[in-house]
Amino acid sequence: MQDVEGKVAVVTGGVSGLGLGFGKVLARAGMKVALTYRKPRDRDAAAAWFAQAGLESPLFVELDVTDRAGFAGAADEVEAAFGKVHLLVNNAGVSVFGPTDEASYADYDWIMGVNFGGVVNGLVTFIPRIKAHGEGGHIVNVASMAAYLSGPQAGIYTASKFAVRGLSECLHYNLVPHGIGVSLMCPGLTKTNAWGAALGRPAEFAESGFGAVDRGELEGFSGAFELGMEPEDVASKTLAAVRENRFLVFSHPEYVEDFTAIFEESIAALPKEEAPEGRLHIEALRRAANRAALEGSKIGISDLT
C-alpha cells in the first residue's frame, strides 16, 4: 500500500496514547482518518489537537471493540462519511498485570476479550469490506514485545499478544491473493497512559483474582512509561512498514539479548536425532506452501500432504 494519500484509515483506541500517535501520523500523510474512542474527554482533547495543528478533523466514532454489532455500525458510519476503508489499525487494548496463578475467569474474559477479541472483531468486520471494494489495503495488528517475551506479572496480557501474533502470521498468508497486506506491530516501552488500564475495569468483570487495584503502585509504574518511545515515532515506523508491505514491525532496538536467548534456547531444545523421511517430506511441503502463499497462491489442505 505505497500510496496512502487520500485513502481511508480506521484506528481503534485512537484518541490517546499509541492510537492517537497513529492518527496524527496518518493524517499528516494525507489519509482520511477515523478514530474510535470510549471516553468523551479523550475524544475532545484529540479533537483540540487536530484543530490546533491545522489538520483535517478525524471522524470520531464511539466504540467498545468487544461489541460486535457496534463494530459493524462503526464501519457503516465510516463508510458513510469517507467511503471505502483501506487501512485498519487494530490498536485498542488493555495492559493489566497480576500473578497469573491467581487470575479469575473475569480476568481472562476481560483481557482476552479486548486484546484478542477486539482484534478478531475488527478483522471480521473489515476484511470482507476491503475485499469487496477490490482496491486492496492493509491491516496493522498492534501486539507488543510481549508477543515474544513473557514474565511473571503479565500472563494473560502475554497470552493475548501471543494470540495476536499467531493470528497475524497466518492471516498474512491468506490475504496476499486479495492485495491486502498485514503487519504485526510489536512496540516496546511507549510513552502512553497504558499503565492505568486496571483503573478502568468494567463492572461486569469486577471479580478479579488479582485483588484490589493499588493506585499508588500503578502511579509509580507510570514512571517507566515516561521513559518510553514517543507514540508518533512508533506510528511513523509502522507507516513506513505499511508503505513497504512489511509484515514484522519492531520499533525498539533494545531486544537483541532477548531474541538471542530465545533462539539459542529453542535450538538447544530440539532433539539431536534424525527425523524420518516421511515427516521431513511433510515439513518440506509446509514450507513450500508458505512460500507459494506469499507469492499469491491460495493454499488448501491438499497442498500440505
The residues annotated with a catalytic role in the active site are 157
Phi-psi domain of 302 (left: phi exceeds 0; alpha: psi -120 through 50; beta: other): alpha
Phi, psi at 224, each rounded to 5°: -65, -40
Cell 494525507: give the residue: 30
